Amino acid sequence: MSEPSRLGIAGLGTVGVGVLDMLRDNGAALNRQAGCEVVVTAVSARSRRNDRGGHDISTYEWFDDPVELAKSDKIDTFVELIGGEDGPAKAAVEAALKAGKDVVTANKALLAHHGAALAQLAEENNACLNFEAAVAGGIPIVKTMRESLAGNGIKKVFGIVNGTCNYILTKMEKEGRDFADVLSEAQELGYAEADPAFDIGGIDAAHKVACLTSLAFGTQTDFDSIFIEGIESITLADIKNADSLGYKIKLLGVSLKTADGIEQRVHPTLVPKGSPIAEVDGVFNAVGLVGDFVDELMLMGRGAGAHPTASSVVGDIADIARGKKVPVFGIPASQLSPYKLARMRAHEGGYYVAMDLYDKPGSVAFIAKAFCEAEISIERIDQRAPVDTGVEKPTAPFILITHDTLESAMRSVLAEIGNAEYCAGEPRMIRIERY
């Protein structure tokens, strides 16, 4: 075997300990596959005293500052598991690349905001920057898109890339529980953070979409251009309505290449029951894509957790140990094209709309006329019995599904309906994707 591949790991939380587990349990097999011994020589974390799953970290050289670890001549590969788009994570990765160190990271936020600049820095210093674990945990989607599908023209990439949201929506559907109740359970089980805003607000999924977009279309990452809508406003009534209409609700990340540019979006979506994406439940993730030669492809698996994510980290480490070097986003950084935004409001697709109409003559006729004048074709209407809540003006749930139409037209007609005397409150709209 050749000289050992020496690792410096910054961040010894859930994923960091998972990496140590894998190196301990499967180290011999990894060494054979890598063609050299892969060893941890140095580590950095916020505290030396925390429990690390029985691992004795005193056998590694300790660095209080991850930036100093990144520059150390005691390591060949810097493994960044700190997290965060800026701060120590960014400073340490930049330091490692400038020192000519190869880098493995699970940090989707860092790449979403600084991917193009870091890719350029890696190439200038003849270093690798591998990030399989940053998108969809243990699912090997980065390597699939970057290497296995080389030569394919990707038209669309989409998927369920946040397990917390998928768990919440699945529980609401299968157990008939409301959002707040399931969120609380997810926090107790460790599927959601104490502050779940990044997950349920769609930010985490958007970070991953930014990375997938650059891989798919050879563009610079542009997180700020992503349309983001979380699941906070999804009600149990929406879940039940979707079910009765033959759909499930999923939080999807979508990146689509159009004649006008690239559309990136994260939002709740109705998907038909029985479609592959609709059957991805619980904390599982799935990423699908459409290519000109490969046609349709979908990968599914655990999108988070210590060991699935560690599997992707170690896979990247093995590639570096073998001497495998691939451009960060599949093409040289200098060839990444500027991101050109295709406006969301030009999006075509069907929509689910739910509203509460006052139980009075003319309500339904007004809705029908508004949609007709907007030239929006209605596929299905579901009018429920009035709900007597004891208030002076009882309301009746009114649900409809449209045929494909422009989002700009939908927003315009719903604004008109929401301001009319017939509608109690704002109508709720959820996009439909017919995979």
Q: Where are the domains of the chain?
A: 2-134, 144-302, 346-432
Q: What is the per-residue DSSP string for 119-132?
A: HHHHHHTT--EE-G
User: Which among 228, 226, 179 has a CA at the least distance from the CA of 202?
Assistant: 228
Q: How far apart are CA 278 and CA 270, in angstroms?
A: 9
Quick one: tokens of 18? 């998972």
Half-sphere exposure at residue 417, Cβ-oriented, CA atoms within 13 angstroms: 33
Q: What is the per-residue DSSP string for 342-358?
A: PPGGG-EE-EEEEEEEE
pLDDT in the model for residue 50: 87
Q: Identify whether 171 is a catalytic site residue.
A: no
106 sits in which H/E element: none
Quick one: tokens of 9? 């790991």
List, in sequence order, every residue forming a beta bridge with 158; answer none if it has no partner: 254, 288
User: Which among 366, 382, 378 has a CA at the least distance from the CA of 410?
Assistant: 378
288: left (phi over 0), alpha (psi -120 to 50) or beta: beta
pLDDT in the model for residue 344: 57
> Are 19 and 10 within 8 A, CB to CB?
no
pLDDT in the model for residue 240: 94
> Are 229 and 202 within 8 A, CB to CB?
yes
pLDDT in the model for residue 360: 83
pLDDT in the model for residue 37: 96
Burial environment of residue 378 by CB neighbours within 10 A (0 to 12, 13 to 18, 19 or more) = middle
Q: How far apart are CA 72 and CA 100, in angstroms?
A: 11
> Are 424 and 398 within 8 A, CB to CB?
no
User: Which among 84, 171, 169, 96 has a CA at the least distance from the CA of 130?
Assistant: 96
pLDDT in the model for residue 383: 82
Asked if 2-134 and 144-302 have one fold, the answer is no
Burial track 361-371 (b if 16+ CB lie within 10 A, e otherwise): eebeebbeebb
User: Which among 13, 303, 15 has a CA at the least distance from the CA of 167?
Assistant: 303
Kindly name the residue from 208, 248, 250, 257 that is annotated as catalytic.
Answer: 208
Q: Would you tell me which CATH number, out of the four given (3.30.70.260, 3.40.190.10, 3.50.50.100, 3.10.28.10), belongs to the domain 346-432? A: 3.30.70.260
Asked: is 144-302 a CATH 3.30.360.10 domain? The reply is yes
Q: Would you tell me which CATH number, out of the four given (3.40.190.10, 3.20.20.120, 3.40.50.720, 3.40.640.10), belongs to the domain 2-134? A: 3.40.50.720
pLDDT in the model for residue 396: 86
pLDDT in the model for residue 53: 87
Q: State the DSSP code for 151.
A: T
Residues of the chain with pLDDT under 50: none
Burial environment of residue 85 by CB neighbours within 10 A (0 to 12, 13 to 18, 19 or more) = middle
Quick one: tokens of 417? 């309906």
pLDDT in the model for residue 387: 60
369-420 confidence digits (pLDDT tens): 999 999 999 999 988 776 655 556 788 889 999 999 988 899 999 999 998 8
pLDDT in the model for residue 389: 54
Q: How far apart are CA 112 and CA 128, in angstroms?
A: 17
The gap between the terminal CA atoms of the chain, to the nearest Å, is 48
116: left (phi over 0), alpha (psi -120 to 50) or beta: alpha
